[in-house]
Structure 1
Amino acid sequence: MAGMIGFTDNYQDRSNRDGFQFEFFCERCGNGYTSSFKRSVTGFGGKLLRMGGDLVGGEWGQKMSSIGYDSALFSDGVRGPAWDKAMREAVEEISPNFHQCHRCGQWVCGPVCWNGERGVCADCAPKLDQEIAGMQAEAQRHQLRESIARVDWTNNVQHQHEVTARCPSCSNETGGGKYCQHCGTPLAAAQEAARFCGQCGTKLNPSAMFCTGCGTTT
């Protein structure tokens, strides 16, 4: 039908009092195009009415309002023949930049999201050259990770920390000798008495090389 306007589910109305303008978006990537700004004759007429009313103290504006030319008729929210005409022109201007995928129904932009070789959008039939490039890049990243993991990068990294010996009696640093430097506790005897298997907890003899409870090397 002549009065119907297609291609209208992916747009935003940017019209104002001065004229009409519309933004149309790709339903896949979100990018899009803005139509040319079309100045509104009625919006300009509304401005003249307000200017005329101000210039003559409102009398001229009141007279024009009384015969049906109230500037409220030109408010933004009212859709009428002027809006329809501007919308139809915007659709005619912008629609060549879009394609509708007959498989999924999306309106998509031609340069990025349309697969012209397959006649559908890039979601339904990805562009093979782009897919191959993406796979190659992912394979390179994977191979680089494996290659880097095979190299020992810890040669110059100090990751071992000296353990500070503490006296079991006073908890101060022992000083590294046979007796605590702070309280004189015999450290060798304390160490021997405190030997237990780290695996099962069995008490160990001072000279034991294996745990008698589980066989773990001490």
Structure 2
Amino acid sequence: MAGMVFFTDNYADRSSDDGYQFEFYCRRCGNGYSSSFQHSVTGFGGRLLRLGGDMIGGQIGERASQLGWDSEFMRDTVRGSTRDKALAKAVQEMQPYFKQCHNCGQWVCDQICWNTERGLCVSCAPKLDQAMAQMQAQAQIEQLNTKIQAQDWTKDINYRDQATGMCPSCGQESGAGKFCQSCGHPLAAAQSAKKFCRNCGTDLNGARFCGECGTPAG
């Protein structure tokens, strides 16, 4: 148990040949933090030795360069244990910023996505003040929608004259009005506005009395 390395899965490894760094993020909102960069002594020292060997040349340079390659090889062979220690240190550094929900198992940020009162993430136990604010906003939208739907918003709109469509005669867009703006053909709105005798059905053509039976237009 003494050698156990604490593990978390809400991180991305941003390590390089120069050292180790990890990015921890919230699995709910996506916010994240980067751990402090931990320099790799073997990686940096190995590059210095190789660089020095290339500059010096000769037997001494070859020896220095070989030491650099040996250092790189040693760094690679111990990378597993070294990386585990670096990760454990990074986890300890980032621990105050994250909590693991014991209900869903997700790692979430302490600042936004953790409900301290309930000891769970806000997905499993929403914060009451936030939940009430959301419900109030939804209720206001629903009530406004009901009130707006109850109002007559078309009483001042002449929907007959403003109706647009295709002229049945020329096939062009008719535009607003009773007659087609392209050919002058009466439109459906104008045709529907015609009055007929309620007795015999004759087209009154605007007359006050029917020309066939004399019935008042009414």
Report if TM-score (shorter chain) is over 0.5: yes
Structure 1 residue 73, shift from structure 2 partner: 2.0
Taking the TM superposition and a 5 Å limit, the aligned residue runs for 1:1-218 are 1-57=1-57, 59-60=59-60, 62-64=62-64, 66=66, 69-73=69-73, 79-154=79-154, 155-156=156-157, 159-161=162-164, 166=169, 173=183, 207=202
Note the residue ranges of structure 1 that are not aligned, 5 or more in a row: 177-204, 209-218
Match of 1:112, SS state, is coil
Match of 2:99, SS state, is strand
Note the residue ranges of structure 2 that are not aligned, 5 or more in a row: 171-181, 187-199, 204-218
Structure 1 residue 23, shift from structure 2 partner: 0.8
Distance 1:157 1:107, change over 3 A: farther
Preserved CA contact (<8 Å) 2:20 2:38 = yes
TM-score by structure 2 length? 0.66
Preserved CA contact (<8 Å) 1:5 1:88 = yes
Structure 1 residue 110, shift from structure 2 partner: 0.9
Preserved CA contact (<8 Å) 2:50 2:65 = no
Preserved CA contact (<8 Å) 1:21 1:37 = yes
Following the alignment from structure 1 to structure 2, what is the Cα–Cα distance between the partners of residues 21 and 50?
A: 24
Preserved CA contact (<8 Å) 1:13 1:23 = yes
TM-score by structure 1 length? 0.66
Distance 1:53 1:135, change over 3 A: same
> Counterpart amino acid of 1:160?
A
Preserved CA contact (<8 Å) 1:26 1:32 = yes
Provide, for residues 150-193 of structure 1, a one-character-per-residue CA deviation record: whole Å limited to 9, x for no partner: 334442576335996859xxxx95777xxxxxxxxxxxxxxxxx
> Counterpart amino acid of 1:113?
C
Structure 1 residue 71, shift from structure 2 partner: 4.9
Following the alignment from structure 2 to structure 1, what is the Cα–Cα distance between the partners of residues 67 and 185?
A: 108
Identity, % of aligned positions: 55
Following the alignment from structure 1 to structure 2, what is the Cα–Cα distance between the partners of residues 77 and 153?
A: 77
> Counterpart amino acid of 1:141?
I
Report the aligned-residue RMSD: 3.4
Following the alignment from structure 2 to structure 1, what is the Cα–Cα distance between the partners of residues 6 and 167?
A: 80
Provide, for residues 118-152 of structure 1, a one-character-per-residue CA deviation record: whole Å limited to 9, x for no partner: 11111111111111111111111222223333334
Distance 1:8 1:64, change over 3 A: farther
